[in-house]
Structure 1
């Protein structure tokens, strides 16, 4: 499939939540992502790990601490407290609606005043077969940006777009600090220029222009 750069975008993430007003209030206070994050009322049954992590990549540890702090103050819970590791500094929290968020930086030290600027918003899908799902998205017109065999894939998207990455489901759950078991609805829809479809793991996409 040949698509244009404008089509290879993720415009927003739609979270299916019990209470859209409460969700909007929480996320405005926690992260301030604006129209990149939308909400849809749903009581679809779901238990355990929903198979995805939403990741905010920032420039330095103090920004991680700032975003984690406002999220916790607004009602999130900690899955993994902020700490240094060999790859940088980060934390994992769970929003009141159940979505899992990772806030991280590759920097281990601050290089300037604390900000709340988010460099990248990444949708990380935990999938059963990374290679097969990578090929599915390539066939739908996405270009691979980074690929580490059957472990991790990141697709090329325009700078202003939300990024898409694939991870093995068990590895994603381990990264989030939760059990990989889960059933029911993913409670997430990805809106962009690729059209409407369901991927091999049941993640739903919709046409952002529809």
Structure 2
């Protein structure tokens, strides 16, 4: 099964980014940072989500991020799906912290159950076919709206969402130009997908490819 090993974010200050993510979320293990060299404006076409066990953990992680300079895009609130909020990190990346639970079952923790990379794409069906051809296995699929791939042993789960719907979910305008400022590392190989998201081989390519 194809897995994602790392997510590399292009940032203005790599040391500041490392400090932010290590302190706010504790997710620097699978994050990499490199100095941004290409311009980017507006929505970069992706978000990262942290799935946690209960609302108090959502509040703890979002609160830590805000104290370290993040900007609130959507304050934490209850929804049909659970409870969550959205912030924009100082480097510009958009993060959602959410839980399917609507009530706490214990003290707040900083435990993160799943990291999800959501790519905003123009044609979900076409991008789904593309990624299946790269060796990813579909876990969930909702018509031409949303696709979630099996994570297996991967520390990061990949999902596809309509570009404008993803921007709306993040609370930002859908318009954006320039670099995504994102590099996805895994065992699928080195390629660029139909929406311009770049992948880099970080481990041996599967034998069947």
Q: TM-score, normalised by structure 1?
A: 0.95
For residues 19 and 155 of structure 2, the distance between their equivalents in structure 1, rounded to whole angstroms, comes to 23
Deviation at 1:209, TM superposition (A): 3.1
Indicate conservation of the 8 Å contact 2:192/2:199, yes or no.
Answer: yes
Q: What's the CA shift string for 1:68-115, capped at 9, x where partnerless?
A: 011011110000000001110000000011000000001000011111
1:159 shift after superposition:
4.1
Instruction: Structure 1: state its 5+ residue gaps.
Output: none
Q: Which residue of 1 aligns with 2:36?
A: 42
Does 1:56 find its partner at 2:50? yes
Give the match for residue 99 of structure 1.
93
Confirm or deny that 1:65 pairs with 2:54: no
**Whole-angstrom distance in 2 between the partners of 1:112 and 1:35:** 26
SS across alignment from 1:12? strand
Per the alignment, residue 207 of structure 2 pairs with none
TM-score by length of 2: 0.95
Instruction: Please list every run of 5 or more consecutive structure 2 residues that lacks an aligned counterpart in the other structure.
Output: 205-209
Match of 1:164 in 2: 158
- Which residue, out of 80, 83, 87, partners 1:86? 80
- 1:20 corresponding residue in structure 2: 14
Instruction: Give yes or no for contact 2:4–2:154 (8 Å, CA) kept in 1.
Output: no
What residue in structure 1 maps to residue 201 of structure 2?
207
Aligned to 1:126: 120
Question: For the residues of structure 2 that align with 1:103 and 1:43, how far apart are their CA atoms?
Answer: 28
**What are the Cα deviations for residues 155-181 of structure 1, in whole angstroms up to 9, with x where unaligned?**
012144210000000000000000000
- 1:142-157 matches, within 5 Å, as 142-157=136-151
**Aligned counterpart, 1:189:** 183
Runs of 4+ in 1 over 4 A off after TM superposition: none
RMSD: 1.0
DSSP 3-state at the match of 1:136 = helix
Q: CA deviation at 1:34?
A: 2.8
1:139 corresponds to 2:133: yes
